[in-house]
Chains A and B, each alone.
Chain A
């Protein structure tokens, strides 16, 4: 993915080669979380609750996490200005290809709406690159995911816990309707709080 972005993506859009360092993190941890820091860096956590997106990787697959937001931000202004972009691309050598938008905010509706736009625009920008399109043909799990780490209530009150109980009942995330994303043969998924994306 790193070569594809640095070389093919930039060539397709007539941009100079990207020399931004530290775009990619790799892991084969069986459980990890991804955090998007305020400085646009991506960090990994293996302890529960550290990140915004939770992944289970029971087969210890080698996973590549690309900081797509940082990549686009490194490109010339005329290209990146006004261009909506998601935070990460998670992929492996097998069947997984996942675009992710990471949030840590209580306003689910507002951020979901924004995340949908960021994910869809990122997807269309990426699919226009022939090498990315070719890559998607080999993948069977193709998802655009909105991750939001949910907040907690004061310990003496149970109201927010009660309202958020749905996320505790179902651990696997929710596949939701997004006709435009589905039209590109991807699925739209929402992962909140304890929802965990299992890579297989």
Chain B
């Protein structure tokens, strides 16, 4: 399954084409460069393609009545793209299989095509995918979890509730989780009918609620918990059956349903999208968090996972070079390694992307990420040359 995406005129994005979305894709760039828009657009079209697969599965299983309609205006609003529609954006998302079998979802002139009855996914190409979007609003999770009961009906935006639902689901399965890169442990306890989240220091020197832990901890814990859940504990069968039964009962089609393929035979994939994993973390912890994440997604995982994240951190991109080298040396660094061929790093700038993968070496070109530090000391040296240093 090879994915490509071409986006034009979508908010800050002018024209971006990614021919092959790699299993680990990293977007680095300045604020407002279009990183999040790009990641949200990819996540949206992956979700549309997932739903198209479910629809194809049902149609091929003799369920004639479509269980749902695609409502692009709602999806665009959820993504915060509704204000971009006036510029007539165009998005082409293609999934390609061997023998040139392709499925293309095309959004242009406010209309989505490629999801009709003539475009159904062939049986051998059916995928059941699960998506997770860990937004930057994840730092509200500890407070929301603590006060959830009193905030019933409150709405903090689509992406917050998406990440909160995944966090809540993950903490159903995982009650204790070592957060090695912070030298802490997460403990989930039932207090009366509510779940409470605690952070424990080594040897239980102290324990405090998650909402009172450091901002770095509050930002990092949801990533680690959700990644751990999807890596090893996510039950595709249960999720698929739940979705299926929901659709079938809604459309009263349960008796018509003649499954064209057993779930066990359908290919499955998880897609995790993370906004700025490094939030509020010191550089060393940023690198260790990335090692932990890569370990969960690509080394110790039971489920097949593709990971995309956006970042402002040059440290993280440089750290990926170390993990690529670890793979090539058949070693682990902080339990992690990553195959060079699985990695893409794009510098997003003024609505376009620059591919930072070096073609003649197995490395990411991080040179331009040193611009800031070089600029600082160029200005420093210049002050010396100009004799404008203030004498004390």
Contacts and interface: CB of A to CB of B under 8 A. Distances in A.
Interface string A139-181: 0000000000011111001011001101100101111110000
B241 interface: no
B365 A160 contact: no
A39 B356 CA distance: 33
Contacts, number: 83
Interface in A98-151: 106-110, 112-113, 150-151
- Size band of the A side of the interface? 20 to 34
B377 A157 contact: yes
Interface stretch (B125-133, B158-166, B266-274, B368-376): B368-376
A190 interface: yes
A157 B377 CA distance: 9
Contacts of A113: 349, 354
Given A160-B377, A176-B355, A176-B365, A108 B370 contact: yes
A27 B190 CA distance: 79
A189 to B, nearest CB: 8
Interface in A71-94: none
Given A109-B368, A112-B368, A113-B349, A166 B374 contact: no
Interface residues of B, number: 29
B363 A166 contact: yes
A150 B374 contact: yes
B286 interface: no
Given A166-B363, A166-B366, A107 B358 contact: no
Given A108-B368, A174-B360, A154 B380 contact: yes
Contacts of B100: none
B346 to A, nearest CB: 10
A167 B367 contact: yes
A157 B378 CA distance: 13
A192 interface: yes
A106 B374 contact: yes
B370 A163 contact: yes
A153 B363 CA distance: 25
B385 interface: no
B355 A164 contact: no
Contacts of A175: 358-360
Given A150-B374, A160-B377, A163-B374, A108 B367 contact: yes
Given A172-B360, A174-B361, A190 B374 contact: no
Contact of A163 (B359, B373, B380): B373
Interface string B220-246: 000000000000000000000000000
Q: Which of A151, A154, A173, A177 has the most CB of B within 10 A?
A: A177
Contacts of B355: 176-177
Contacts of A159: 373, 376-377
A108 B354 CA distance: 13
B347 interface: yes
A164 B367 contact: yes
Interface in B337-391: 347, 349, 354-361, 363, 365-371, 373-378, 380-381
A151 B377 contact: yes
A174 B355 CA distance: 12
A6 B38 CA distance: 47
A109 B359 contact: no
Given A109-B349, A174-B361, A190 B377 contact: no
B375 A154 contact: no
30 contacts: A106-B371, A106-B375, A108-B368, A109-B347, A109-B349, A109-B368, A109-B371, A112-B368, A113-B349, A150-B374, A151-B374, A152-B377, A153-B377, A154-B377, A160-B370, A160-B377, A163-B373, A164-B367, A166-B366, A166-B367, A172-B360, A174-B359, A174-B363, A174-B367, A175-B360, A177-B355, A177-B357, A177-B359, A190-B365, A192-B367
Given A109-B349, A160-B374, A192-B367, 12 more contacts: A109-B354, A152-B377, A154-B380, A163-B314, A163-B373, A164-B370, A166-B318, A172-B360, A174-B363, A175-B360, A176-B355, A176-B359
In the complex, the 6 A-B pairs of residues with the closest C-beta atoms, listed nearest first = A106-B374, A163-B370, A109-B368, A175-B359, A177-B355, A175-B360
